[in-house]
Amino acid sequence: MAFSFLVTLREGIEMALVIAILLGYLRSIGQKQHFRAIWTGVGVAAAICLAIGIGLEIASKELDKRIVEGFEGFAMIFAVIVLTGMAFWMKRQAAGMSAELRARIDSALGGGSVTALVLLAATSVGREGLETTLFLFAGSSTGASGTEYVLGGVLGFAVAAVVGVGIYQGSRWFPMRAFFQVSAIVLIVLAAGLLANSVTKLYEAALISNLGTRPWDTDGVVSMTSDFGKFLNTLVGYDSAPAMLQIVLYWGYLLTASAAYLWLPVRRPASPVPVAPATNAH
């Protein structure tokens, strides 16, 4: 539950931020009649992401167990790659995202096309939605029951929606920059756990023949079969008797990705050139 909650909270706030910026800018330039186009785009993105998630779940249940284990292992690895890339993308774009989205709205209105606004909302929200779908699917087999996992995801989106309303209303109490920095580190920790769990899936699929020795066993302290052990496994990739390959991947990724995110400088995106919106857009 905690895993799905953290994922949907973080990604949901990103989506809510995009929607709030789009709606807020349209309101500020007197184009509230185009709100429907933005919500249509959001609906299209949500439907596509939901369909992809359902398709992944159905496919995983129809395949042979070994194939499913391999599929989940590679899905976890791909989720780690996507998540890491998005964390650094957000770090680079955070300062200029609002100006960029406003410029794209001006361009869509300047062309007099409502369809362009629908596509703008669909692509802006869909990018985050696809990442969320992939990450939730990759983590769905790591511990929590189906009901708890779905509940955690719904709660995360609900809190994100409340934050989005606050952003749209012009609230200044929410420290967006600090939130993205802290949540990016949290998701890097989650990704490290996924990476460690991915090799066990590949081992069970007979795609990896040896995970190495197991230096310790803490099952007597926190059992993998206990609720707390399952919680830690889902949240941070806990294994009471981790293999050497899991240990190396977990700590190697966690330390490298965290250090790079915190200390590597990023080139800020160029400021977009504003385009005057047309007054007769339909």
Question: Is 104 inside any structural domain?
Answer: yes
Across residues 174-199, what is the average pLDDT? 78
pLDDT for 78 = 84
Q: Which residue has the higher pLDDT, 204 or 183?
A: 204
Residue 73 pLDDT more than 50? Answer: yes
Angle at 239 between CA 215 and CA 136, to 5 degrees: 145
Question: Is 181 inside any structural domain?
Answer: yes
Q: How many domains does the chain have?
A: 1
Residue 247 pLDDT more than 90? Answer: yes
Across residues 12-18, what is the average pLDDT? 81
Question: Is 235 inside any structural domain?
Answer: yes
Across residues 155-175, what is the average pLDDT? 76
User: Could you identify the residue written with the tokens 């200044």?
Assistant: 172
Question: Is 99 inside any structural domain?
Answer: yes
Alpha-carbon gap, residue 213 to 196, rounded angstroms: 15
Across residues 46-69, what is the average pLDDT? 80
Q: Which residue has the higher pLDDT, 145 or 212?
A: 212
Assessment of whether the complete model's pTM goes beyond 0.75? no
Residue 77's domain spans which residues? Answer: 2-263
66 in Cβ contact with 184 (< 8 Å): no
pLDDT for 278 = 47
205 in Cβ contact with 73 (< 8 Å): yes
User: Could you identify the residue written with the tokens 């069970």?
Assistant: 204
pLDDT for 280 = 46
Question: Is 268 inside any structural domain?
Answer: no
- DSSP of 41-110: HHHHHHHHHHHHHHHHHHHHHHS-HHHHHHHHHHHHHHHHHHHHHHHHHHHHHTTTHHHHHHHHHHHHHH
Across residues 241-255, what is the average pLDDT? 94
Most confident among 91-95, 104-108, 276-280 (mean pLDDT): 104-108
Query: Please, which pLDDT band fits residue 95 given cuts at 50, 70 and 90?
Result: low
Average pLDDT score over the chain: 78
19 in Cβ contact with 121 (< 8 Å): yes
Question: Is 275 inside any structural domain?
Answer: no
Q: Which residue has the higher pLDDT, 250 or 144?
A: 250
Query: Please, which pLDDT band fits residue 165 given cuts at 50, 70 and 90?
Result: confident
Question: Is 82 inside any structural domain?
Answer: yes
pLDDT digits (tens, 9 = 90+) for 110-119: 766 678 878 8
Query: Please, which pLDDT band fits residue 142 given cuts at 50, 70 and 90?
Result: low
Question: Is 282 inside any structural domain?
Answer: no
User: Could you identify the residue written with the tokens 């990103």?
Assistant: 14
pLDDT for 250 = 95
Q: Which residue has the higher pLDDT, 123 or 281?
A: 123
Count the neighbouring beta carbons within 10 Å of the beta carbon of residue 116: 19
Across residues 31-56, what is the average pLDDT? 87
